[in-house]
Amino acid sequence: MSSTAERPPLGLRERKKARTRAAIQTHALRLFREQGYQSTTVDQIITAAEVSETTFFRYFPTKEDTVLQDDFDPMIASSLRDQPAALSPVAAVRRTLRDHFEARTPEQRREMHERLALVVAEPALRSTMLVQATGAMRLIEQALAARAGADHADLATRAVAGAVIGVLLAAVEEWSEARGELPPIVDAALEHLENGLSSHFNV
C-alpha cells in the first residue's frame, strides 16, 4: 500500500494548483542549484516560474517554504492510520515510510535528496525544520491514537511519536554525513527503535 493509494482522485482545479505549486518549486530548486540558496531571490523564482507575485505567495509564504513545504507529513499520517492493527506503533511507522519511499519515482527521490541537502547546508532552513518537527510529531501521535481507537494521544503515544521524530532527525544527520540513499538509513534507524535501543548497547 503506497502512501497515496487511499487518496481520492484530484479534481481539475486541484490538479492545476498542484502543477503550479510543483512548477514553482522546481524552478526554485533549479535556481538554488545554479546560483546558491542565499543568492536567489523570490523575484527571480517568480520570473523563472512565470507566475505573479500573488500566486507565488499564495503557495509559498516565504522562500524557505519552497524547500520545506510539501505534503509528506499529512500523507504519512493518513497512511499510518490505515496500517493493520496487529502492527506495533513503530512497525506501522516503518511500513508506512517504506511504502511511501517505494512509491516515489527516481526523479522524486532526487528532488527529496536535493531539498534535504539544502536543509542541511542552510542554518535558517535547519532551524525552521526543527520547528516544523513539532507539528509532524502531533500528526503522528494523532494517527497512532486513531489506530488505537482513542480520541486523543496519551503520554505513551506522544512519547512514541516523539521518539519517531527524533529517529528521523538522526537519520537525516546520518545521511548528511554518509549521503547515499535516505530510505534505507531511515528504515535501519527505525529498526533500532523497534527492537529496543538497550539491545544495541548490551544493556
pLDDT tens track for 3-62: 333 445 667 888 898 899 999 999 999 999 999 999 999 999 999 999 999 999 999 999
| pLDDT over threshold 70, residue 185 | yes
Cell representation of residue 107 = 526523479
Q: Answer whether 68's CB lies under 8 Å from 132's CB.
A: yes
Higher pLDDT, 42 or 180: 42
Comparing CA positions, the residue from 182, 61, 17 lying closest to residue 114 is: 182
| Predicted TM-score of the model (pTM) | 0.83
CA distance 65 to 25: 9
* DSSP code for 105: -
Range 12-62 classified under CATH 3.40.50.1820:
no
Query: 19-32: b or e for each residue (b if 16 or more CB lie within 10 Å)?
Result: ebbeebbebbbebb
132 contacts: CB under 8 Å, gap ≥ 6: 68
Superfamily of domain 70-200: Tetracycline Repressor, domain 2 (1.10.357.10)
Every domain of the chain and the residues it spans: 12-62, 70-200
178 contacts: CB under 8 Å, gap ≥ 6: 185
At 70-129, the pLDDT tens digits run 888 899 999 999 999 899 999 999 999 999 999 999 988 888 899 999 999 999 999 999
Judge whether 12-62 and 70-200 match in fold.
Answer: no
CA distance 164 to 141: 10
CA distance 192 to 132: 24
Count of alpha carbons within 13 angstroms of residue 67, beta-carbon side: 30
Q: How far apart are the first and last CA of the chain?
A: 36
Task: Give the angle 80-156-71 at the CA atoms, nearest 5°.
Answer: 30
* DSSP code for 9: P
- What's residue 2's pLDDT? 33
